[in-house]
Amino acid sequence: MTITLQQANAIIAGALDKAAELKLKPLSVAVLDQGGHLIAFQRQDGSSLMRFQIANGKASGALALGVSSRKIAEMAAERPSFVASLGSIASAGVVPVPGGVLVTDASGAVIGAVGISGDVSDNDEACALAGITASGLSART
């Protein structure tokens, strides 16, 4: 199973609803399938430059390593050379800060990932989690 366009759009809508509730800065939200292909992307009015690349890098890194971008940040603290080396081999990049979360189906299988950029990383992650919940899917953090 892979994430569908309908599910991806539901994740984005839920994430942006959470951002509005928290009165966050404009966000950019990327949803990728389990192969790292972009399924859906939205950028709020006023989003700054490079937000697509950052959101995509958070989601792509989570898929590449099988853990959230928050855990990649922890890896970077423990093994900085390893995480730094990923930049040259990961085509979409690896952004080692919170905001990239794996999406799982009811069986726990990874079906995609969401990456969000625009506010502080903890808020980006909170919106990713809210979006995943709103879609009826689950997050692996």
Is residue 93 over pLDDT 90? no
State the greatest distance between any 2 C-alpha atoms of the chain, in Å, as a whole number: 39
Strand partners, 139: 103
- Please give the residue that has the higher pLDDT: either 14 or 141: 14
Tell me the three state secondary structure of residue 105.
coil
Q: Are 129 and 98 in contact (CB under 8 A)?
A: no
For residue 92, the model assigns a pLDDT of: 87
Give the H/E segment covering residue 38. strand 38-43
Residues in a beta bridge with 42: 29
| 139 pLDDT tier (thresholds 50, 70, 90) | very high
Dist. CA 130–CA 23, nearest whole Å: 14
Judged against a pLDDT cut of 90, whether residue 141 lies above it is answered with no
Q: For residue 116, which amino acid is it?
A: I
